[in-house]
Amino acid sequence: MIPLKSEEDLKMLAEAGRILSRIVKELGRSVRAGITTQEIDNLAKDLMSREGVTSAFKGYRNFPAHICTSVNNEIVHGIPSDRRLEEGDILGLDVGINYRDYFSDTAVTIPLGKINPRLKKLLQATRESLALGIRKAQVKNHLFDISQAIQEYVESQGFSVVREFVGHGIGRNLHEEPEIPNFGRKNSGPLLLEGMVFAIEPMVNMGSWEAVIAENGWTALTKDGLPSAHFEHTVAITKNGPQVLTQ
């Protein structure tokens, strides 16, 4: 059953989204060649403390860090470390917070300096597929209308959507019903209703959609070693259309 949020819930989730947006914007400013992903995680911890929120990820199923930092061929769940970022890398920042027992989740993939045109196109296609998916988060649409819009656009650009990892409902818990795959058939799945809140998050690979899990038990890597991009917003379905809470 997909939970519906009250007006008060939506106000709290909107505030959580605003706080998270500020944090991610500040983290984005820190990303540069030479910085380590652990240093970015340390900054995230400080920013969360300053904002009076806690990490939604640290300790979740024993995840060891405050944020996920996924580099190049890492799809999601990259663990911050002493790895130094280099010119030409792409860095996926996936950040979630708990604000007064309300959760918000967002992700962005950031290029470091000049990247090759194909990689630039991958980031652009992933970002645009998210926008197209959000556009389908309308009352009386079906859940997989979101999925189909993402998949159709990504594949039209010559890329592939990851199957093993999906978006999700969000609210008083980080992960709620339903699961939101980035592939699917139009006009299928549950009917969308006012008050649903989703974390919509296309994960897009340059090559094959297949993934493998690293030895750390967390980080998902592309099976073919090619790059992957990830963008995510927390979105409320309202009578006036989708409201992006992490804009």
pLDDT of 106: 99
Specify the pLDDT at position 74.
98
Per-residue tokens: 177: 């019903």
Count of other CB atoms within 10 angstroms of residue 59? 12
Q: What is the pLDDT of residue 9?
A: 98
Mean pLDDT (10-residue bins), the chain, 247 residues: 97 98 98 98 98 98 98 98 98 98 98 97 98 98 98 98 98 98 97 98 98 98 98 98 97
In this predicted structure, what is the pLDDT of residue 140? 95
Q: What is the DSSP string of 4-40?
A: ---HHHHHHHHHHHHHHHHHHHHHHHH--TT-BHHHH
Please give the C-alpha separations between residue 180 and each of 57, 225, 236, in angstroms, as whole numbers.
19, 25, 14
pLDDT given for residue 29 in this prediction: 97
The per-residue pLDDT for 139 is 98
DSSP structure string for 160-216? EE-SS--EEE-SSSSSEEEEE-S---TT-SSBP-TT-EEEE--EEESS-S-EEE-TT
Position 2 in a domain: no
In a domain, 99, yes or no: yes
Containing domain of residue 181, as a range?
7-244
Here the CATH number for the domain that contains residue 116 is 3.90.230.10
**Residue 76 and residue 78: Cα distance in Å, rounded?**
6
What is the reported pLDDT for 176? 98
1 in a structural domain: no
